[in-house]
Amino acid sequence: MRISMLGAFQVELNGKSDFTPDPPKERTVLALIALHANRVVSIDTIIGEIWGDGPPRTSVATARTYIYHLRKIFIERLGPAGVDLLATKTHGYLLRLADDMVDANIFCDLVAKGRQLLGDDQPEDAAITLREALDMWRGPALGNVPLGQTLSAYATFLEEERRSAKELRIMADMRLGRHRELISEIRSLVVEDPVNEWLSAQLMITLSRCGRRGEALGVYADLRSQLATQLGLDPSRDLQRLHHQVLVADQQPVLFS
């Protein structure tokens, strides 16, 4: 069994058969118990995820029906191996899954490994590892699942880890001197997030190190304008210092961490 959360929620059985529940609430239940794999998920937690603070009077029976449908499918598709996959416990339900059966777990492990490699001054291996992690994504986390409080928080966490992985990979590539190759990628990220000082700083550095000082200074001017318009702020002191370095033609402006 394989569960994908890095994009549309998908479930694969027997290495080839796609089993992703059609009813949206069943997808929510399965995603929730997969998130808490090998731990008991109470019926109250399931109800809260589906209906929030205003569950209907039939919520307990309906939630149990969703579990029944999921268990039935597991048994139909997996045979005897599916009997104990989704177990009923005293206070709820437990889905038995190995960690490597969920793509989000693999992704988080790769990001942690890439971060450690970069910290150990192994940028080449870090860049490879982080690219592998980022290549796992197929769209917004849990993109086809109605999200309650728990799943919404987890989807936000995964998106933040994705953002962190991108930044770490950019840092690794910059340490490897791949400034020219990074320009178009970082520029597109700046367009998506025009008040992100870190991204604008990386773009300024890459442009400056490629002999494109005028464009680097233009990036600073654009950021200053966006910060003033959107947030009423000036660029940080670190960014102002970087701007000065570019302005006086420092050929190796410091990395903005």
Q: For domain 179-257, give its CATH number from 3.30.930.10, 1.25.40.10, 3.40.50.1820, 1.20.1730.10.
A: 1.25.40.10
Residue 253 has pLDDT above 70, yes or no: no
Contact criterion met (CB below 8 Å) for 32 and 95: no
The helix (run of H) or strand (run of E) holding residue 88 is strand 86-89
Structure confidence by residue, pLDDT tens digits, 41-94: 999 999 999 999 999 999 999 999 999 999 998 888 888 878 889 999 988 999
Structure confidence by residue, pLDDT tens digits, 131-142: 999 999 999 999
Sign, CA torsion 238/239/244/246 = positive
Q: What share of the chain is helix, strand, coil (3-state, %, to 5)?
A: 65, 10, 30
pTM of this structure: 0.91
Residue 257 has pLDDT above 60, yes or no: no
Q: In whole angstroms, what is the distance from residue 28 CA to residue 174 CA?
A: 40
Structure confidence by residue, pLDDT tens digits, 213-226: 999 999 999 999 99
Count of all residues that appear for the chain in the document: 257
- C-alpha distances out from residue 228 to 51, 186, 190, 223, Å: 41, 22, 16, 8
Domain ranges of the chain: 2-101, 179-257
2-101 with 179-257: one CATH topology?
Answer: no
Please provide the CATH number assigned to the domain covering 2-101.
Answer: 1.10.10.10
What was the pLDDT predicted at 81? Answer: 77
- C-alpha distances out from residue 160 to 90, 130, 216, Å: 35, 14, 27
Q: In whole angstroms, what is the distance from residue 171 CA to residue 193 CA?
A: 18
